[in-house]
């Protein structure tokens, strides 16, 4: 049981809030509203929010070692300087698929970008998972995915975690950091309809999974070895999209949500749909984000 009070961090409703990442340099939280092509930067010290508008749907933002960011827009991977918003095109792994957009992305401990694509209409098996190297070359890691989410690694164990939301499954793979590949897929957990759909995910320093339940109205902490739910955080909204640790001690849990697709009646019952929430000073600690190393 988590004996902490859930608070609203940002009372701005996102259609599809996603990709939260803690900026340990600026001590702020960055996250996106995919469908409104917006990037938000929340500074908890003074509770201010800065908004950056981009040109296309933005599926993920990933920090770089120089303090700037990568933004995975539907038109390709861009370099972006927050909160100013100047975007410079870098690469597009899928020029042949204009009906796709990027969905989730993170850097691994070696400074490579892992980023997923999906069909904008959520058609099955139209997406893929790519790794982008520091020289901006790339290769496909998984093919014929539908909705990739929850990318994360337990580097000490050589494990890569991947959520396939369309199948409501969390998978784990052995991870070869030298050859940059994954193998030996195993199911960590399969979600029931009542539990909702697994969405964004992060690991704590103990290697436990924190999983957002889209449609399930909660975040759970799970043991990846057994799938057992160790803790549960209930939220006043149903569509929970992702979560990440932040704060000076990396023990504040930020949670993004979505208002996408809700009826007027549902919105009246969930007036905070799309808000970003926080649980502060938890007895659990997250890890600082990996950063992309661009040498091109």
- The residues annotated with a catalytic role in the active site are 199
The residue whose two tokens read 């599809």 is: 16
The residue whose two tokens read 């020029």 is: 95
Residue 228, both tokens:
């057992």
- Sequence-separated (6 or more) residues with CB below 8 Å from residue 124: 146, 166
Report which DSSP code applies to 288: P
CB contact at 8 A, 253 and 209: no
Beta-strand relationship, 181-190 and 197-203: unpaired
Q: Helix, strand, or coil here: 166?
A: helix
CB contact at 8 A, 56 and 75: yes
b/e per residue 274-292 (b: at least 16 CB within 10 A): bbbbbbbebebebbebbbb
| 260 CB burial (10 A radius; 0-12, 13-18, 19+) | middle
- Sequence-separated (6 or more) residues with CB below 8 Å from residue 98: none
232 vs 219: CA distance, rounded Å? 6
**DSSP per-residue codes, 202-255:** EEBTTS-EEEEEETTTEEEEE-TTT--EEEEEE-SSSBEEEEEEESTTS-EEEE
Other beta carbons less than 10 A from residue 46's beta carbon: 6
């Amino acid at each position: 049981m988590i004996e902490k009070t859930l608070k609203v961090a940002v009372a701005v409703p996102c259609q599809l809030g996603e990709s939260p990442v803690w900026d340990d340099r600026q001590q702020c939280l960055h996250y996106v509203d995919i469908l409104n092509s917006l990037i938000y930067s929340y500074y908890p010290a003074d509770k201010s929010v800065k908004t950056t508008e981009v040109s296309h749907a933005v599926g993920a933002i990933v920090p770089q070692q120089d303090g700037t960011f990568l933004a995975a827009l539907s038109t390709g991977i861009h370099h972006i300087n927050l909160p100013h918003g100047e975007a410079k095109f870098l690469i597009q792994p899928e020029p042949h698929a204009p009906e796709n957009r990027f969905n989730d992305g993170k850097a691994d401990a070696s400074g490579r970008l892992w980023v997923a694509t999906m069909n904008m209409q959520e058609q099955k098996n139209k997406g893929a998972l790519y790794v982008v190297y520091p020289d901006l070359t790339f290769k496909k890691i998984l093919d014929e995915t539908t909705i990739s989410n929850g990318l994360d690694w337990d580097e000490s164990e050589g494990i890569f975690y991947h959520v396939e939301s369309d199948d409501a499954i969390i998978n784990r793979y052995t991870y070869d950091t030298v050859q940059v590949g994954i193998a030996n897929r195993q199911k960590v957990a399969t979600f029931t309809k009542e539990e909702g759909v697994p969405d964004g995910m992060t690991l704590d320093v103990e290697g436990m999974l924190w999983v957002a339940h889209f449609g399930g109205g909660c975040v759970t902490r799970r043991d990846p070895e057994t799938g057992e739910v160790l803790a549960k955080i209930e939220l006043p909204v149903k569509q929970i999209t992702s979560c990440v640790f932040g704060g000076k001690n990396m023990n504040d849990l930020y949670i993004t949500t979505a208002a996408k697709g809700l009826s007027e009646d549902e919105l009246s019952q969930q007036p905070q749909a799309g808000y970003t929430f926080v649980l502060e000073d938890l007895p659990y600690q997250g890890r600082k984000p990996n950063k992309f190393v661009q040498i091109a």
